[in-house]
Amino acid sequence: MSGEDDHLNIAIVGSGICGMCSAMALARQGHTVSVYDRDPAPPDGDADAAFFNWQRRGAAQFRHPHAFLGLLCNIIEENYPDLLEAFYAAGARRVDFAEMLSAELRAAYVAEPGDAKLWVLMCRRATMETVFRRYVESMANVSIHNGVRVTGMCTQVDSQGTLDVTGITIEQAGRTSERTADIVVDASGRLSKFPGWFAALDRTVHEEKDDAEIVYYTRHYRLQPGCEEPPRGERPGAGDLGYLKFGVFPGDNGTFAIILCLPVAERLLQRAVRAGATFDQICLSIPGLEPWLVDNRSSPTTEPFGIADIQSVWRHYVTAGEPLARNFFAVGDAALRTNPLYGRGCSTGILHAHILADVIAESRDPVSRAHRFDERTEKELRPIFSASLREDRNGIARSAAVLEGRTLDKPDGLKKWFRLAFGDALGAASREQLHVLRGAMKSFHLLENPGAFLKDPKIRRTVLRYMLKGRRRNSAKRLQPGPGRAEMHDLLGLSADAAVSPDESEIVNPA
Ligand SMILES: Cc1cc2nc3c(=O)[nH]c(=O)nc-3n(C[C@H](O)[C@H](O)[C@H](O)COP(=O)(O)OP(=O)(O)OC[C@H]3O[C@@H](n4cnc5c(N)ncnc54)[C@H](O)[C@@H]3O)c2cc1C
């Protein structure tokens, strides 16, 4: 592209992770980018100041721990090497594939070229967001406006009925005004108001929506002075006990967080887990979490808090081959989101932001931009979304079986038996065979379509060899060490007869 039209005036609604990633990707193409967010700017100071003091009512997940997978890390490393340095300076850590291996696999480890892409960045989301923010605000052609609530869209309809988005309306300190823009980007997250604003104009944003049927609880901790994190790779710090999923998220500057995730039907445990002492008691009973808390290795820095309404959502802005509006794009959670348990949202979000920047650079025609954005979103993000949905459905079936005291290990039908046997063999092989784990990690880090590694003939042969070893052996490797459901209820003194009132089942989520 050349000429004056190349230089666009772009309004981004939301300065969360995807708002910042979109601003970075668009600003480096020379566009003028204005970002609007209802929340205040991050406070001055270090990572702790951002975590404890930043008021982030607009992003309910702000204080829940986040994993930053290979997809996100590699996009940053390849496109913004100086940003990566800023993450390290703020206390974020790079953890490579080799560092995550069990002692047995580490002993046999020989590096391969692709391993350099299998890494995670470990830090709190507050740290991640602050570093993104500081980087973006230092770009000459970006302005970020905080304390500004976007209250609507400015639009025009031509004689053919085509809708053009021409700007936004904003409210700041009680005053309403308009901001015109060549392109409006909705990066306002899971509670985006744009679908409602389109509905008011008689344009329907079609939505696919599935409930993950879980409630997610977090507690943050700090290692005591002189204490180290437990060694990696010995006991899995994440797993599924059937009625409870758990995970530890090492953070920056000596911090870490633990999540406990419960099915919505586990009311008694949900109520219990909100008390700090019970949360810790549960963690101490799970071998993968115990080393993080035992012997006063750490102390909590927050009470437990939760978040509910965990859904997978995909919003369609092109239906029946027609864009809903011209010069409007939704990115990140505003467009699609998956269960946070898989830690994929920020990775799919930064990819989405870069897809947007690509399509804006490729064509000047607003309709072909809308089509191209839709096509690439379907091609590159749909496989991740579909895999997450399948994992959710399996998880819902597993926890329902545990709750009802049924076993899923004795399937009715050959197809189901084969699926289970294959899954167990794959799980066992990826614990014991480096090449299988490497393949599985490419999927985990979203560096290829989920499950693509299973097309590798060597991996297939290994998994089939494991199937021949027998299901009993393989499924024993799948089971996570930890108390069963009845044992956990006993341990916590929970009575199955205790009633839970609707009020008590509400979720506390600090701003
Ligand atoms: C509990 C939980 C845990 C998660 N864990 C992970 C993880 O481990 N790894 C991972 O990659 N992802 C994780 N995610 C997903 C991740 O948080 C999201 O995918 C990501 O934050 C999406 O970024 P976003 O910019 O689209 O939205 P958000 O980060 O939610 O930002 C939206 C922004 O828009 C602003 N805004 C909203 N409405 C308006 C308005 N009208 N006017 C002005 N501003 C507005 C808000 O203030 C906010 O700043 C998790 C999500 C949850 C719920």
Residues 204, 206, 212: CA angle, nearest 5 degrees: 140
Q: Ligand 1, closest atom to CA 310? A: 53
Measured in Å, residue 72 CA sits from the centre of ligand 1 at: 15
| Ligand 1 pocket check for 131: Cβ under 6 Å | no
Measured in Å, residue 190 CA sits from the centre of ligand 1 at: 7
- pLDDT, tens only, 318-328: 998 999 999 99
CA 446 to chain centre: 12
Q: What is the mean pLDDT of residues 453-470?
A: 94
| Ligand 1 pocket check for 336: Cβ under 6 Å | no
Highest mean pLDDT, choosing among 182-186, 389-393, 493-497: 182-186
Measured in Å, residue 420 CA sits from the centre of ligand 1 at: 35
> What is the residue whose two structure tokens read 């990826």?
430
Q: What is the number of residues in the chain?
A: 511
Q: Taking a C-beta distance cutoff of 8 angstroms, is the pair 327, 164 a contact?
A: yes
Per-residue confidence band for 405, with pLDDT thresholds at 50, 70 and 90: confident
Q: Taking a C-beta distance cutoff of 8 angstroms, is the pair 241, 482 a contact?
A: yes
Helix (H, G, I), strand (E, B) or coil at 454: helix
Q: Which residues contact 112 (CB under 8 A, 6 or more apart)?
A: 438
> Which of these CATH numbers, 3.30.70.260, 3.50.50.60, 3.40.50.2300, 3.40.50.1820, describes 8-60+127-211+310-388?
3.50.50.60
Q: Ligand 1, closest atom to CA 334? A: 26
- pLDDT, tens only, 141-166: 999 999 999 999 999 999 999 999 99
From 12, 18, 146, 384, mutation site for ligand 1 pocket: most ligand atoms within 8 A of C-beta? 18
Helix (H, G, I), strand (E, B) or coil at 20: helix
Provide the CB-side half-sphere exposure for 35 (13 A, CA): 28
φ/ψ region of 68 (left if φ > 0, alpha if ψ in -120 to 50, else beta) reads: beta
| Ligand 1 pocket check for 436: Cβ under 6 Å | no
| Ligand 1 pocket check for 129: Cβ under 6 Å | no
| Ligand 1 pocket check for 15: Cβ under 6 Å | yes
What secondary structure letter does DSSP report for 98? G
Q: Ligand 1, closest atom to CA 189? A: 27
CATH class of the domain at 214-309+501-505: alpha beta
Measured in Å, residue 133 CA sits from the centre of ligand 1 at: 14
Nearest CA to ligand 1 atom 29: 16
| Ligand 1 pocket check for 73: Cβ under 6 Å | no
φ/ψ region of 403 (left if φ > 0, alpha if ψ in -120 to 50, else beta) reads: alpha
Q: Mean pLDDT across the chain, nearest whole number?
A: 92
Q: Ligand 1, closest atom to CA 170? A: 42
| Ligand 1 pocket check for 217: Cβ under 6 Å | no
Per-residue confidence band for 421, with pLDDT thresholds at 50, 70 and 90: confident
What pLDDT is stored for residue 5 in this prediction? 59
What pLDDT is stored for residue 408 in this prediction? 67
Between 6 and 304, residue with greater pLDDT:
304
| Ligand 1 pocket check for 193: Cβ under 6 Å | yes
Domain-wise residue ranges, the chain: 8-60+127-211+310-388, 67-123, 214-309+501-505, 414-480
Per-residue confidence band for 479, with pLDDT thresholds at 50, 70 and 90: low
Q: Taking a C-beta distance cutoff of 8 angstroms, is the pair 282, 273 a contact?
A: yes
Q: Which of 317, 365, 327 is nearest to 163 (CA)?
A: 327
What pLDDT is stored for residue 6 in this prediction? 80
Q: Which of 110, 137, 191, 157 is nearest to 27 (CA)?
A: 137
State the SS3 of 220-238. Answer: EEEECCCCCCCCCCCCCCE
Residues 428, 347, 137: CA angle, nearest 5 degrees: 150
Nearest CA to ligand 1 atom 4: 340
Residues 210, 442, 112: CA angle, nearest 5 degrees: 175
- pLDDT, tens only, 261-308: 999 999 999 999 999 999 999 999 999 999 999 999 999 999 999 999
Share of the chain above pLDDT 90, in %: 83
Q: What is the mean pLDDT of residues 335-342?
A: 96
Lowest mean pLDDT among 58-67, 73-82, 413-422, 487-496: 413-422
What pLDDT is stored for residue 415 in this prediction? 81
From 333, 339, 446, mutation site for ligand 1 pocket: most ligand atoms within 8 A of C-beta? 333
Give dist(CA 202, CA 184) in Å, integer: 19
What secondary structure letter does DSSP report for 274? T
Q: Which residues contact 427 (CB under 8 A, 6 or more apart)?
A: 474, 477, 478
